[in-house]
Chain A
């Protein structure tokens, strides 16, 4: 039976990813980072039916970041062994002063974080995520639908900004891509939108605080909780084992 991770409750999945990210923040093992990366990539590639068309486009900047972090550790990490900060945070356990090892340590951490993030992004539907935050995370509807409204306005906001830039160009005023004048003009209009949009939603009967019924009923299944706890425990035990080397695996 193929496990479909997109069916996992998004709030439970978010908690799983967040707790694992916090645990990994205290991990020093390259092997643990790479194991988490491997599991997440396997899940993205084989355990979801959602589209992975964007996967290479998302992966490319991550690989660039990984390279940047590797070079940072490789070029600077070798000298860091003499730094007080290095000894303080590694409790004197300088496993290796090898620059390649330090580069791997820094880059594999970023890779593990990004893999956890991509695992969430590629196995979760946006609408399910917001519905779950409302139903399980007790987020008020005004926040949930406010965020969704802004999310769906993104193309119009982008159009507004390019219109403002065009208006400046028409008047012969040259603007750089980060110039603040068209940005300000777009912002004035967007602020007005926020008020009219809120009025429109409320005039249609939207109640930002009340209990709502929902077409999409998000449930927390027993399998979700088991998967969440098992993965957190796995990452935690792997980190502990890599530190104390009870079983010299990682």
Chain B
């Protein structure tokens, strides 16, 4: 019954797209710090590490969509929506970001697919940080030839990206979704209904 494919409504698309824009603002707030770190590390040849702490923000749209809508495939579609928006905003890498988005969305989806889309609690959310880090790094490794770097640098890059993904993609996104559900703005979605049903139980307990 739950496995029925999800049909997107206009308000779902708008929700994900507007959230994607907000996440991009969060990214813009941090990108200057990332660039400054990168500039400081460039003479030592470690400049690529400067942006690694921001990678978790890139992946947020996908986890956000899955946690709210809780259906298969929404993670990939959400990333595609966010990346098409990036192209419209004039991203220098153009349509290549769509390819990047699909891979990142797939990385997040895997974690929830492991639990057959039945669990949307902390466990798959934290696992998604690991799977999305793996997927995005494999892509970047091939695209940007990170394999030419020494092994220690590859490991440091993966570690920073993983920590960033755990903080932003898993913890902050999960807390954000829970907060929005409690605020009552997601009542039309599974996550909002779950938050609402908990309140009903609490009322019954009190009775």
Instruction: Identify the A interface with B (CB < 8 A).
Output: 14, 17-18, 21-22, 25-26, 54, 58, 61-62, 64, 67-69, 71-77, 79-80, 83-86, 88-89, 102, 105-106, 109-110, 113-114, 116-121, 126, 129-130, 133, 140, 142-143, 145-147, 149-151, 153-154, 157-158, 161, 177-178, 180, 183-184, 186-188, 190-195, 197-199, 201-202, 206, 208
State whether A153 touches B18 (Cβ < 8 A). Answer: yes
State whether A85 touches B154 (Cβ < 8 A). Answer: yes
Bound: A133/B95 CA distance, A: 12
State whether B18 touches A190 (Cβ < 8 A). Answer: yes
Interface residues of A: mostly helix, strand, loop or mixed?
helix
State whether the Cβ of B203 lies closer than 8 Å to any Cβ in chain A: no
Instruction: Identify the B interface with A (CB < 8 A).
Output: 8-11, 13-15, 17-22, 25-26, 29-30, 35, 38-39, 42-48, 50, 81, 84-85, 87-99, 142-145, 147-151, 153-154, 172, 176, 179-180, 183, 185-186, 188
State whether B95 touches A75 (Cβ < 8 A). Answer: no
Interface residues of B: mostly helix, strand, loop or mixed?
helix
Residue in B closest to A190 when the chains form the complex, CB atoms? B18
State whether B11 touches A72 (Cβ < 8 A). Answer: no
Task: State the Cβ distance, A199 to closest chain B Cβ, in Å.
Answer: 8
State whether A118 touches B172 (Cβ < 8 A). Answer: no
Residues of B within 8 A of A150 (CB): 14, 17-18, 20-21, 85
State whether A151 touches B95 (Cβ < 8 A). Answer: no
Central interface residue in B26, B47, B48, B88, by most chain A CB within 10 Å? B88
State whether B93 touches A114 (Cβ < 8 A). Answer: yes
Task: State the Cβ distance, B6 to closest chain A Cβ, in Å.
Answer: 13
State whether A80 touches B148 (Cβ < 8 A). Answer: yes
Bound: A68/B52 CA distance, A: 13
State whether B8 touches A142 (Cβ < 8 A). Answer: yes
Residues of B within 8 A of A79 (CB): 150
Residues of B within 8 A of A149 (CB): 14, 17
Bound: A229/B157 CA distance, A: 37
Bound: A119/B96 CA distance, A: 12
State whether B39 touches A105 (Cβ < 8 A). Answer: no
Residues of A within 8 A of B151 (CB): 83-85
